[in-house]
């Protein structure tokens, strides 16, 4: 029996599928993705069937040995395209090797419905761990660049207009804060992913006495799902995960967009490393930020995948429907884009050349010190802020470098009094116009002053260590489960070999 038609269609169905139908129903990319997970699930399920006395140990040993051989041959050895899916490809190869009388027992108490749901969850959690690791790399690169630029003064922006002086470190740590929350969302998504549907069968569980707690432990899940219909038909874990990825990709797009803008001659703040740029086919002088533009563009692709996933799931009756096959590729592609985007952006940030002189030169352009001048007037004279705001607003009509005489002239027009007579001095005004002194006065929590930024950097480094530790704990649990599964598989094969 060499193909899936012999195994699945010989019973209820008689007509073979056309090549067009086979191509239409193919899930080849996702099947290749879940192949390692499928082998793991087959091993754990077989070990559990043996423990429960549902299949004999000698048959289990034959199954497990053959699964090991199929695993070693890899997914390319299966020729999945000849079968309905990876699950049937593995089972067909198994039966061809050891016969249906033995190999056909592996599927006892199981459906492809709970099998695929389990495999997708295992594959998704591995991708989540990988993406969170990639994010740690990006966060570290941002923090390192910020640590090197605590004193790098630059203009801050609102509405893309020069607003107030800040520092590059302060600006970068805004991105770090957003990406911190992305990490939290992914960590939160992990707990919804890491639930075990195996044992739900088609949707109504099974009459076989399965030990679902046992497979939960062997597969590294946190707990078994407690409703078999929910187990096979829920895809909210994908919706949660893909939503978190879409938000992450949006944050990455915003960072990429700023680096694209900052690398233009109009800004001149940074230069990208040549590895993250290309040139023009006709204009030899060009250094185009193509790579970051693609990160920005693929954010839209991920959002599209998210919308597709929600749209596919929204109208499905319980329990399983083949529509769900279309959800998994949306998640897989989103993982591919977000992981590569994260790694590439980490490389771009870590190799970025910062033009500190240009940032400093432009830090006061556009009268960015206006707010501090208004604040100084309030402190020096006791005037209400709104009044001071109006006076400085008049000064903004000038060149952005007002003298004390200019201030007095504006205040006379506004309130009929000179601010120099009310306590404002030339020295106070000079300090208010100094961009770095502007920054240093903003030392409250969250501000750009060096003292505030150093506290933020220290907190961020501590958070990175805590997140690394949390990830290591998740990986350790999975490694322990994998080790236990391997040990049990070896014991079954060894005991059968010795006739125990």
278 given a catalytic annotation: no
**Euclidean distance between CA atoms 471 and 474, whole angstroms:** 5
DSSP 159: T
Helix (H/G/I), strand (E/B), else coil: 205: coil
**Euclidean distance between CA atoms 238 and 197, whole angstroms:** 14
Neighbours of 85 (CB within 10 A): 21
Helix (H/G/I), strand (E/B), else coil: 158: strand
Residue pair 34/120 in contact by the 8 Å Cβ criterion: yes
Neighbours of 417 (CB within 10 A): 13
**Euclidean distance between CA atoms 454 and 130, whole angstroms:** 29
14 given a catalytic annotation: no
**Euclidean distance between CA atoms 423 and 420, whole angstroms:** 6
Name the residue among 340, 425, 318, 416 with its Cα closest to residue 377. 425
**Euclidean distance between CA atoms 289 and 9, whole angstroms:** 54
Residue of 79, 278, 280, 497 marked active site: 280
**Euclidean distance between CA atoms 456 and 108, whole angstroms:** 56
Q: Is the dihedral of CA 69, 106, 477, 325 positive or negative?
A: positive
Residue pair 31/86 in contact by the 8 Å Cβ criterion: yes
Residue of 18, 159, 281, 322 marked active site: 159
**Euclidean distance between CA atoms 425 and 404, whole angstroms:** 7
- H-run or E-run covering 195: strand 195-196
**Euclidean distance between CA atoms 231 and 500, whole angstroms:** 36
Active site residues: 159, 280
């Amino acid at each position: 029996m060499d193909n899936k038609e012999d195994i699945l269609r010989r019973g209820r169905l008689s007509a073979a599928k056309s090549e067009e139908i086979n191509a239409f129903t193919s899930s080849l990319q996702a099947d290749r993705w879940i192949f390692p997970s499928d082998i793991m699930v087959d091993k754990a399920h077989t070990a559990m069937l043996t423990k429960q006395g549902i299949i004999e140990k000698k048959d289990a040993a034959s199954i497990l040995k053959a699964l090991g051989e199929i695993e070693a041959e890899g997914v390319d050895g299966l020729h999945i395209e000849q079968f309905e899916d990876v699950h049937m490809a593995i089972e067909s190869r198994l039966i061809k090797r050891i016969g249906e009388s033995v190999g056909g027992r592996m599927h006892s108490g199981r459906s492809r419905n709970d099998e695929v749901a389990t495999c997708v969850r295992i594959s998704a959690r591995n991708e989540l761990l990988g993406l969170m690791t990639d994010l740690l790399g990006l966060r570290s690169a941002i923090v390192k660049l910020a640590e090197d630029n605590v004193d790098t003064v630059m203009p801050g922006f609102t509405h893309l207009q020069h607003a107030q002086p800040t520092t590059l470190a302060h600006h970068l740590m805004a991105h770090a804060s957003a990406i911190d929350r992305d990490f939290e969302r992914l960590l939160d998504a992990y707990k919804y992913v890491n639930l075990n549907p195996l044992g739900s069968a088609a949707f109504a569980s099974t009459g076989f006495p399965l030990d679902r707690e046992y497979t939960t432990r062997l597969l590294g899940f946190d707990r078994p799902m407690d409703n078999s219909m929910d187990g096979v038909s829920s895809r909210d874990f994908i919706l949660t995960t893909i939503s978190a990825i879409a938000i992450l990709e949006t944050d990455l797009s915003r960072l990429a967009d700023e680096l694209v803008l900052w690398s233009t001659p109009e800004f001149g703040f940074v230069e990208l490393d040549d590895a993250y740029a290309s040139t023009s086919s006709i204009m030899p002088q060009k250094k185009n930020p193509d790579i970051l533009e693609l990160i920005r563009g693929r954010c839209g692709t991920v959002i599209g995948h998210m919308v597709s996933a929600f749209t596919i799931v929204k109208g499905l009756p319980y329990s399983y429907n083949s529509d769900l096959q279309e959800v998994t590729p949306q998640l897989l592609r989103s993982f591919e884009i977000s992981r590569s985007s994260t790694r590439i952006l980490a490389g771009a940030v870590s190799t970025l050349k910062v033009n500190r002189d240009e940032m400093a030169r432009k830090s006061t352009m556009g009268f960015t010190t206006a707010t501090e001048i208004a604040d100084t007037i309030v402190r020096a004279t006791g005037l209400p802020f709104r009044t001071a705001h109006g006076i400085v607003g008049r000064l903004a009509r000038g060149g952005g470098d007002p003298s004390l005489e200019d201030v007095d002239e504006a205040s006379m027009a506004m309130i009929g009094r000179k601010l120099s007579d009310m306590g404002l001095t030339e020295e106070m005004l000079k300090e208010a116009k100094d961009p770095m002194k502007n920054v240093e006065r903003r030392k409250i929590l969250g501000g750009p002053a060096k003292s505030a930024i150093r506290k933020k950097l220290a907190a961020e480094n501590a958070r990175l260590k805590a997140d690394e530790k949390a990830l290591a704990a998740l990986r350790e649990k999975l490694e322990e489960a994998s080790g236990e599964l391997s040990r049990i598989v070896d014991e079954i094969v060894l005991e059968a070999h010795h006739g125990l």
